[in-house]
Amino acid sequence: MKLTITNLTKTYDNGVKAIDNLSLEIGTGMFGLLGPNGAGKSTLMRTIATLQSADSGTIQFGDINVLEDKMALRKILGYLPQSFGVYPKMSAEALLDYFATLKGVRSKSERATLVREVLEITNLYDVRKKAVAGYSGGMKQRFGIAQLLLNNPKLIIVDEPTAGLDPAERNRFLNVLREVGTNCTVIFSTHIVDDVKELCNEMAILNGGRILQHTTPSEATESVKGKIWTKIIERDDLEAMEATYNVLSSNYNQDNTLNIRVYSEAQPASDFRAVAPQLDDVYFIALKADLEVLA
């Protein structure tokens, strides 16, 4: 099912325009919403999840008018907020059984089957007897997915789920999400470019409440092919380089020199070497161009 957002706008009481006349179409599969802190990711997700109102605009999911018919959307929605509350000292299994009861699954054996299923999908079956309160960050995030799966959702919204996870936990989490996302629409927000690269078939770059680019990870990198250049410089030369060239990023080498990456249609100077583009390059180009528009 397709999600269509049209001319959505939201200004908070303090005057911050968090969503700025945003239009976006999202199809089935894993959709990555990539943007820095303050871009408007959480605002957009809370609005789609019907937890917050918009000033104007419409959101349509399949035949549901989301902002008009909140209950219809909630029935098919799974939402994992950016920060999750405190968990009681109950085991994952007992807690999921309780949530399933709340959702109206009356039969005990039906609940047991459902709970086992979501525990297995999220790789928590072996630790099902342990208290969720004692889970690691990554296990808690996977528990969040297990919980939203009880709904059998058609639309899943997860807001910055990998923030703060160590690399192993992050991998496990992305694997779970990858499996879950095969037959519904998943909107996944992050400020980590690699999350989108590894997980999503479609993506948008969000900043200042506006979509800067709606693309795919491979299309995005293809679009700057032949335009990314690198050079090794002394750390003291960085400022001068930034004044002269469109420097996207700089990384320290072990000998304290810097590797800079520059965006340019043609070779900036003879001591620059062409490199294969990365999704990070595209992200930095989009954000820098946006800064210049605003300046």
Q: Which residues bind ligand ADP (CB under 6 A)?
A: 12, 14, 16, 18, 35, 37-43
SS3 state at 144: helix
SS3 state at 64: strand
CB of 83 to ligand ADP, least distance (A): 11
Beta strands in the chain (DSSP E): 3-11, 17-26, 29-34, 56-61, 64-65, 77-80, 155-159, 185-190, 202-207, 210-215, 228-233, 247-252, 258-263, 273-274
Binding footprint of Mg ion on the chain (CB under 5 A): 41-42, 82
Residues 281 and 219 sit within 8 Å (Cβ to Cβ)? no
Query: What secondary structure letter does DSSP report for 124?
Result: -
Which of Mg ion, ligand ADP, none lies near 57, with the C-beta cut-off 5 to 8 A by kind?
none
CB of 291 to ligand ADP, least distance (A): 15
Task: List the structure tokens of 230.
Answer: 């690198």
CB of 174 to Mg ion, least distance (A): 18
Q: Between 46 and 142, name the residue whose CB sits nearer to ligand ADP.
A: 46
Which of Mg ion, ligand ADP, none lies near 14, with the C-beta cut-off 5 to 8 A by kind?
ligand ADP
Which of Mg ion, ligand ADP, none lies near 18, with the C-beta cut-off 5 to 8 A by kind?
ligand ADP
CB of 43 to ligand ADP, least distance (A): 3
The DSSP result for 44-55, as a single string, is: HHHHHTTSS--S
CB of 46 to ligand ADP, least distance (A): 8
Which of ligand ADP, Mg ion, none lies near 16, with the C-beta cut-off 5 to 8 A by kind?
ligand ADP
At 8, which amino acid appears?
L
Which of ligand ADP, Mg ion, none lies near 62, with the C-beta cut-off 5 to 8 A by kind?
none
Q: Between 28 and 82, name the residue whose CB sits nearer to Mg ion.
A: 82
| Rounded Cα–Cα distance for residues 284 and 266 (Å) | 18
- Taking every pair of Cα atoms in the chain, the longest distance, rounded to a whole number of angstroms, is 73
CB of 26 to ligand ADP, least distance (A): 17
| Rounded Cα–Cα distance for residues 31 and 49 (Å) | 15
Which of ligand ADP, Mg ion, none lies near 40, with the C-beta cut-off 5 to 8 A by kind?
ligand ADP
Q: Between 92 and 287, name the residue whose CB sits nearer to ligand ADP.
A: 287
Q: Between 26 and 114, name the residue whose CB sits nearer to ligand ADP.
A: 26
| Rounded Cα–Cα distance for residues 81 and 160 (Å) | 8
Q: Between 64 and 193, name the residue whose CB sits nearer to Mg ion.
A: 193
Closest CA to 96 of 124, 69, 74: 124
